[in-house]
């Protein structure tokens, strides 16, 4: 049976289509969960304290399974539960404020980050360096870092 070849562009198209599909499904699932939790919250079946306890239990389970190196502190657990409850309550003003604060902190962190500079030599320079340094065993070129 002959093997078929596919081009890189075809492979990339297939992968991107699959990623789009997974992203859409993830968003649909998130919306369904948000809707169901809003219904349950409005019916009084759980509270903010219940959400915090559930977040605490989830992180404890992940820690015990070795999926988290260390248990987050109480402040981080509360922040996670609070963010979750903002969505469940549908508090648009608080969500926007939270998103703005997150963007601000992200921009500040990016501004503080020092990015290394990478210089790329033209092919002619690399060829000249190879000629000056000789060749590796087997006839291959040396890589000079």
- What are the residue boundaries of the structural domains of the chain, listed by start? 14-114
**pTM, two decimal places:** 0.59
Q: Determine the Cα–Cα distance for residues 31 and 25; give it in Å rounded to an integer.
A: 10
Contacts of 120 (CB under 8 A, 6+ apart): none
Q: Output the CA angle 108-120-141, nearest 5 degrees.
A: 140
Q: What is residue 85's predicted lDDT score, i.e. its pLDDT? A: 94
Using DSSP, state whether 45 is helix, strand or coil. coil
Mean pLDDT of the chain: 86
Q: Determine the Cα–Cα distance for residues 73 and 99; give it in Å rounded to an integer.
A: 22
- Please report the beta strands in 15-92, taking only residues with DSSP state E, as ranges in sequence order: none
Residue 3 has pLDDT above 90, yes or no: no
| Structure-token pair, residue 10 | 């075809």
Q: What is residue 7's predicted lDDT score, i.e. its pLDDT? A: 83
The HSE-up count of residue 27 (CA atoms within 13 Å, CB side) is 6
Tell me what the mean pLDDT of segment 112-124 comes to.
75
- Structure confidence by residue, pLDDT tens digits, 56-109: 999 999 999 999 999 999 999 999 999 999 999 999 999 999 899 989 999 988
Contacts of 63 (CB under 8 A, 6+ apart): 70, 71
| Structure-token pair, residue 8 | 């890189």
Q: What is residue 135's predicted lDDT score, i.e. its pLDDT? A: 54
Residue 142 has pLDDT above 70, yes or no: no
Q: Determine the Cα–Cα distance for residues 133 and 8; give it in Å rounded to an integer.
A: 35
């Amino acid at each position: 049976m002959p093997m078929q070849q596919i081009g890189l562009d075809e492979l990339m198209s297939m992968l991107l289509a699959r990623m789009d599909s997974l992203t859409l499904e993830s968003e649909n699932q998130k919306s369904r969960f948000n809707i169901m939790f809003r219904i349950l919250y409005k019916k009084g079946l759980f509270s903010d304290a219940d959400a915090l306890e559930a977040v605490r239990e989830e992180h404890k389970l992940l820690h015990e399974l070795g999926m988290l190196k260390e248990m987050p502190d109480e402040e981080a657990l509360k922040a996670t539960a609070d963010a979750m409850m903002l969505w469940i309550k549908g508090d648009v003003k608080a969500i926007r404020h939270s998103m703005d604060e997150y963007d601000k902190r992200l921009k500040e962190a990016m501004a503080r980050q020092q990015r290394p500079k990478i210089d790329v030599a033209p092919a002619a320079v690399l060829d000249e360096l190879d000629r000056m340094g000789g060749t590796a065993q087997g006839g291959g070129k040396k890589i000079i870092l």
